[in-house]
Amino acid sequence: MARKVTGKAPGRESDFSAEKKTWLETFHQELVDAGFGVKGGDPGPVYDTVTTHFVLRYGLEEPFGRDVGDPPPDVPAPPVNVSEAEKADHLAARKKLRTAWILFFKIANWYRARYRNKKIHSGAIKSILADMRAMSGANARPRRQLPAVLYSKLHYPTRIKPRFDTMWDSLKATTPDKERIALSCKFVYTCWDEETEEFRRDIEKQAEEQHRAALEEWRAGREAPEASAEVYHEALENLNTVGIPLVDALAERLGMHVVLLAVGPVGSEGGQVALRSVFSDTAGGLTSKTWAQLDHTGFTAMEKSITRYGCGFFSKADCVARMAADR
């Protein structure tokens, strides 16, 4: 599930480095074979194996990411030969240790940050885009035209062009022809600003009505997914499956860090409006911290603000309905 906001900074506290990092990387192929990062894959047993071997190799002394220097003496490289009986005894013992579970999740998060979706963006994003196309129909959601743009479409021949031609005649002797289009675009806004307030309000109303009609037509042609508390609950539980490859792909495409914020009723929190967030990969940045870790105060303030904003989209009945999935 996507990160649950608890008031505490989330995420891993440190990276594994040096010898430990090299050792962890030797299990990469096992992760790939287990379907790491692929829908339906189950890397959990590999995380469990790595955790077991990590404890045997390095112990449970924190901080786990501390550099140990050279490899411990008399410890073979992976795979470590451990009998099934020894492994069973060890697993039973470590399940009682809170620190071992911390280590398990730290290792899992490290692998996700290190390798997640580096070679699987294509398939994951194709699946997401297929869902988006199914929901949007043949065309993307129509956008509301700027009133000045609609003004130009409706009145350029009569209210703009004659004035611009006069202005251009006075400038063309000293102005390159390639600047004509840019000047024409700017002149549209000059004319728009000079129109009466009543005239502009009428154009704005037309733009709003056209947008409303286009939206109704677009919505009628959408293939919307099933909507129920159970479906929403399952989708939220699997937000990372969709969200991580999406934000990582966008980050690579844009050359930016991407944060996905989702706000709405959460069944597991009694239907209350809450925030869920997904961050693009931080492993290659100057900081490995997420927003919440780097600026916890600012992130908390944003969380409160966007939650208030989100409350405006959902009625009390909507929130109560989301609780059905957890009953």
pLDDT in tens, 82-132: 567 766 666 655 555 556 667 777 777 777 766 654 444 455 556 556 655
Domain identity same for 309 and 278: yes
The tokens 């697993």 sit on which residue? 91
What one-character-per-residue DSSP string does 82-139 give? --HHHHHHHHHHHTT-HHHHHHHHHHHHHHHHHHTTTTTHHHHHHHHHHHHHHHHTTS
In this prediction, residue 159 carries a pLDDT of: 92
* H or E element at residue 265: strand 259-265
Would you say residue 304 lies in a domain?
Answer: yes
* Claim to verify: residue 63 and residue 158 sit in the same structural domain: no
CB atoms within 10 A of CB 142: 16
Alpha-carbon Rg for the chain in angstroms: 28
Q: Which of 220, 238, 262 represents a domain boundary (last residue)? A: 220
Residues 239 and 301 in one domain: yes
- Residues 200 and 277 placed together within one structural domain of the fold: no
Token code pair at residue 275: 């925030």
Q: DSSP code of 251?
A: H
Q: Is residue 133 part of a domain?
A: no
Same domain (yes/no): 28, 70: yes
Q: Assess whether 153 and 247 both reside in one domain.
A: no
* Integer Cα distance of 23 and 56 in angstroms: 13
**CA atoms of 49 and 92, how far apart (whole Å):** 13
Q: Residue 89: its pLDDT value, please? A: 65
Residue 87 lies in a domain: yes
5 domain-assigned: no
Q: Which two tokens stand for residue 52?
A: 């077991």
- Which residues in the chain land under pLDDT 70? 1-18, 37-40, 60-83, 86-101, 113-140, 221-227, 282-285, 324-327
Q: Cβ distance 103 to 60 under 8 Å? A: yes
Residue 142 maps to a domain: no
In a domain, 6, yes or no: no
pLDDT tens for 61-72 read: 655 555 545 444
Q: Please indicate, yes or no, whether residues 200 and 293 belong to a single structural domain of this protein.
A: no
Which of the listed residues 170, 200, 220 is the one where a domain comes to its end? 220
The backbone torsions φ and ψ at residue 263, rounded to the nearest 5 degrees and listed phi first, read -130, 135
Q: For residue 139, is it within any domain?
A: no
The answer to whether residues 216 and 232 belong to one domain is: no
The DSSP call for residue 259 is E
Domain range spanning residue 47? 12-115
Q: Contacts by 242-245 with C-beta closer than 8 Å and gap 24+? A: 242/124, 242/128, 243/2, 243/278, 244/112, 244/116, 244/117, 244/278, 245/37, 245/117, 245/120, 245/121, 245/124, 245/125, 245/128
- Please report the pLDDT score of residue 95 as a whole number: 52
Quote the CA–CA distance of 220 and 215 in Å, as a whole number. 8
End residue of a domain, out of 191, 220, 249: 220
Q: What is the reported pLDDT for 273?
A: 92
pTM of the model: 0.41
- Are residue 292 and residue 233 in the same domain, yes or no? yes
Q: How many structural domains are present in the chain?
A: 3
Within 8 A by CB and 6+ apart from 228, the residues are 324
Residues 231 and 216 in one domain: no
Residue 127 domain-assigned (yes or no):
no
State whether 185 and 93 are in the same domain.
Answer: no
What DSSP character marks residue 279? E
pLDDT of residue 66: 54
Q: Are strands 259-265 and 3-4 parallel, antiparallel or unpaired?
A: unpaired
What's residue 251's pLDDT?
82
Question: In terms of domains, do 317 and 295 share one?
Answer: yes
